[in-house]
């Protein structure tokens, strides 16, 4: 199946710093990528939908100025957590949708963010 | 009041037995459903999908059943193995192609 690479897999940062997470589709073009957040023992919650070349669409309650999303190419989307705080500590997961197969999404391995 | 921090329901089965994991979905207009398996510290892994014009679909050792009348989805795993231990999520598509995930069930396979 298609591969989605997410980097880094784990990051520890100090409160107030910014962290960038990359999501790459390695062998296919993804017109749309999605960013999810998952707290321990909970389900995945959609944060935003990222379309190549346009602004991301954020879910209600997700601050767009805090979680900056850039989707500059068909194979790369980035999520930047700005001025991170301990409550931002979570597991962040991206997925990519095949351009020609609208319902199929492939997930990255996730990024564990710990803010001290 | 409600407790903070959800507790995943857990299904414990013996190795070799069949497992049935259930899921209720919310949107009657959803036309595509997927089951994912998530191991600790990893991203979701696709297991099987089903469209709303079907009520059953089989894969290798897995079967998904869809009951649109009661908005219920189930995943059956035959001859459960230790490697099947994980959290299982059902997901339904949304109008923007994002997925709405269910709460998840933790499957524990005991020897």
| Shortest distance, CA B48 to any CA of chain A (angstroms) | 11
pLDDT tens per residue, range B28-54: 888 899 999 999 999 999 999 999 999
Phi-psi region of B59 (alpha: psi -120 to 50; beta: other; left: phi over 0): beta
pLDDT digit string, tens, across residues A69-104:
998 888 999 999 999 999 999 999 999 987 666 677
Per DSSP, what are the bridge partners of residue B84?
none
CB contact under 8 A, B45 and A107: yes
pLDDT in tens, A27-64: 888 889 999 999 988 999 999 999 888 889 999 999 99
The interface residues of chain B toward chain A in range 43-102, judged by CB-CB distance below 8 A, are: 43-46, 49, 89, 93, 96-102
B 26-45 residues with CB < 8 A to A: 32, 36, 41-45
Give yes or no for A105 touching B (CB within 8 A): yes
Q: Do A43 and A37 contact (CB within 8 A), yes or no?
A: no
What distance in Å separates the CA atoms of residue A49 and residue B68, rounded to the nearest whole number? 27
Closest CA to A107 of A53, A42, A33: A33
């Amino acid at each position: 199946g298609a591969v989605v690479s997410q980097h880094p897999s784990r990051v520890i940062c100090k409160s107030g710093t910014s962290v960038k997470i990359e999501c790459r589709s390695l062998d296919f073009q993804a017109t749309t990528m999605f960013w999810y957040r998952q707290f321990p023992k909970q389900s995945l919650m959609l944060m935003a939908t990222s379309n190549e070349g346009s602004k991301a669409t954020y879910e209600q309650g997700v601050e767009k100025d805090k979680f900056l999303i850039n989707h500059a190419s068909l194979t790369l989307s980035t999520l930047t957590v700005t001025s991170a705080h301990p409550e931002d500590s979570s597991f962040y997961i991206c997925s990519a949708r095949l351009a020609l197969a609208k319902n199929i999404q492939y997930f990255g391995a996730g990024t564990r963010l710990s803010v001290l | 009041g409600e407790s903070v921090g959800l507790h995943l329901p857990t299904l414990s089965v013996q190795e070799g037995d069949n497992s049935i994991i259930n899921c209720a979905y919310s949107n009657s207009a959803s036309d595509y459903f997927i089951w994912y398996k998530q191991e600790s510290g990893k991203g979701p892994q696709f297991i099987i999908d089903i469209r709303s014009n079907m009520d059953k679909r089989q894969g290798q050792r897995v079967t998904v059943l869809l009951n649109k009348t009661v908005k219920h989805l189930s995943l059956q795993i035959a001859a459960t193995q230790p490697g099947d231990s994980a959290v299982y999520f059902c997901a339904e598509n949304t109008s923007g192609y994002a997925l709405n995930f269910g709460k998840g069930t933790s499957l524990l396979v005991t020897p």
